[in-house]
Amino acid sequence: MAATIFLIVISAVFSQNFILVKFLGICPFLGVSKKTNSALSMGIAVTLVMLLATLVTYPLYTYIMVPLKIEYLEIIFFIFVIAALVQMLEKIIEKISPALYRSMGIYLPLITTNCAILGVAELLLVNDVSEIVSGVAAGINMNLGFALLYALCSGLGFTLAMLLMGGVREKLEKLPVAKCMKGFPITMVAACFMAMAFYVFALL
């Protein structure tokens, strides 16, 4: 049990990092990582929505869609749940804390089309934990607790990658870069080196 939890945490945060290894959520990774502050806000917002979305979509799929035999509608259901959640969260944050809303508000609508959220909801639709986390002994059934833990750690891994990239890009702005390499290309090359660093975790 403890070993499974440990492996899920390590795998979701480092060795199977959503951005740098699985290529999910690259758009915000490239778009909102110019400053460390905005990268952190985006990371927290994504983690929150990921957790909430899993809390709704996993039971929805397991306890409603499977018994009714409407699994084939999962994409439509999930995207609707995520869009509704994001809208709701936006309104709640606006009411509770206007300051937080101002700093985070513009990123929230973007999260609907963030593939990391739909990706985590889709990835979790397995019967066995070992299918998504390598190293776990086969035969451990997926349940809501593991699903939530996986979602939380994926979100943390996402935030970590965003933060690192934000730091790298703040420095990158000041460097003299060839004209055609400015902007996306140099960011991609920086991401390449970060991905190499994270690849080492997968080898451990």
Partner 1 sequence: MNAKKYGKIAYDGLVTNNATFKLVLGTCSTLAMSTSAVNSFGMGLSVTVVLLLSNVIISLLRKIIPNTVRIPAFVVIIATMVTLLRMVLDKYIPDLYDSMGVFLPLIVVNCVILGRAEAFASKRPVIDSAIDGVATGLGLTFALTFIGIIREFLGSGSFFGIQVTDFRIGFFTNAAGAFFVYGICIALFVFVANKAEQARRVKKMRVLRKPAAIGPLPPVTESSEREDG
Positions touching partner 1 (CB under 8 A) are: 20-27, 30, 72-76, 79-80, 83, 112-115, 118-119, 122-123, 178-181, 184-189, 191-193, 195-196, 198-199
Spatial neighbors of 196 by CB under 8 A, at least 6 apart, are none
Smallest distance from partner 1 to CB 123, Å: 6
Q: Which is nearer to partner 1, 2 or 180 (CB)?
A: 180
Please report which residue ranges of the chain form alpha helices under DSSP H: 2-10, 26-31, 36-59, 66-68, 74-96, 98-104, 108-111, 115-123, 144-172, 184-203
Q: Which long-range contacts (CB under 8 A, 24 or more apart) does 136-140 make?
A: 136/3, 136/4, 136/7, 136/8, 137/4, 140/4
Report the nearest approach of partner 1 to the CB of residue 74 (Å).
7
Nearest approach in angstroms of CB 22 to partner 1 is 7
Q: 88 Cβ partners below 8 Å, 6+ apart?
A: none
Residue 34 CB neighbour total at 10 angstroms: 16
Decide whether 30 or 163 has the Cβ nearer to partner 1. Answer: 30
Residue among 99 and 175 whose Cβ is closer to partner 1: 175
- Which one, 150 or 198, has the nearer CB to partner 1? 198
| 22 or 104: CB nearest partner 1 | 22
Tell the smallest beta-carbon distance from residue 60 to partner 1 (Å): 15
User: In the bound complex, what is the minimum distance in angstroms from residue 5's beta carbon to partner 1?
Assistant: 23
| Cβ partners under 8 Å of residue 62, min gap 6 | none
Residue pointed to by tokens 């990658």: 161
Closest distance between partner 1 and the C-beta of residue 158, in Å?
A: 13
Nearer to partner 1, 96 or 171 (CB): 171
Judged by phi (left if over 0) then psi (alpha if -120 to 50, else beta), residue 132 lies in alpha
